[in-house]
């Protein structure tokens, strides 16, 4: 499946919503609706959810309310062949939850080393600086999946849920596009660097974590 096909599937999933279980009943909700209704998480721990939401919000403001954690947790619970996460396109070996746990754990370990606190507890300026350094692979002592790869995957998650929310509320679509274009101009992952990144073959391409 190509990136274009994946994005089409993600957007199409919004039209049918995703399956969540609330109070023992299966309901069909968008990730933002699941977040607003407090749908329980089934894969990620509360600490991992806190980190994922904080990083997502740093990558793209609004990602927390758009349901980034609900979306990721939901997709980590489906069959790998049905998963809409970028990890599948990057040919990461399932279960994809292993990658997310390793990635979020790497972020927290580095934050503790550099700042003595969790990522969610950092000031906004510190969060932006950390994410930018992670993107450039400039965090000393980083252990786990390569920082630029973590950035690449989580950034896609943030953009995907923002698109999903936009499809459910078309009045915000222009703002969604504006935020994404702004982030791209600020030094986001461009096509050439993605090609070079995957071309090195040191991560993705069947790796497990």
Q: Which two tokens stand for residue 177?
A: 């596009």
What's the rounded Cα separation, in Å, for the pair 38 and 59?
Answer: 22
How far, rounded to the nearest angstrom, does the alpha carbon of residue 30 sit from its chain's CA centroid?
Answer: 16
The beta-strand segments (E) located in the chain are 18-22, 25-29
What's the rounded Cα separation, in Å, for the pair 120 and 41?
Answer: 19
What's the rounded Cα separation, in Å, for the pair 68 and 55?
Answer: 10
pLDDT in tens, 8-61: 555 555 444 898 988 888 999 999 999 999 999 999 999 999 999 999 999 999
Q: Total domain count for the chain?
A: 1
Q: In this structure, is residue 209 part of a structural domain?
A: no
pLDDT reading at 80 higher than 70 = yes
- Name 209's Cβ contacts closer than 8 Å, sequence gap at least 6: 92, 98, 99, 101, 102, 103, 144, 145
Q: In this structure, is residue 204 part of a structural domain?
A: no
Q: In this structure, is residue 91 part of a structural domain?
A: yes
Q: Which domain holds residue 40?
A: 3-199
**How high is the pLDDT of residue 21?**
86
Place 136 in a pLDDT band, splitting at 50, 70 and 90: very high
């Amino acid at each position: 499946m190509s990136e274009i096909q994946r994005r089409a599937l993600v957007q199409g999933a919004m039209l049918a919503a995703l399956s969540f279980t609330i109070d023992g009943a299966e309901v069909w909700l968008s990730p933002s609706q699941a977040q607003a209704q407090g749908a329980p998480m089934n894969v990620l721990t509360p600490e991992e959810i806190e980190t994922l939401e904080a990083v997502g919000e740093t990558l793209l403001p609004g990602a927390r309310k758009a349901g980034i954690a609900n979306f990721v947790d939901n997709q980590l619970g489906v069959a790998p062949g049905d998963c809409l996460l970028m990890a599948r396109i990057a040919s990461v070996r399932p279960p994809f939850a292993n990658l997310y746990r390793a990635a979020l754990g790497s972020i927290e370990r580095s934050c503790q080393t550099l700042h003595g606190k969790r990522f969610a507890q950092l000031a906004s300026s510190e969060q932006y600086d950390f994410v930018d350094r992670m993107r450039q692979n400039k965090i000393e002592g980083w252990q786990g999946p390569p920082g630029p790869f973590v950035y690449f995957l989580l950034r896609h998650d943030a953009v995907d849920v923002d698109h999903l929310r936009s499809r459910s509320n078309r009045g915000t679509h222009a703002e969604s596009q504006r935020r994404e274009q702004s982030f791209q101009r600020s030094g986001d992952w461009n096509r050439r660097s993605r090609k070079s990144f995957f071309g090195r073959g040191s991560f993705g391409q069947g790796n497990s974590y």
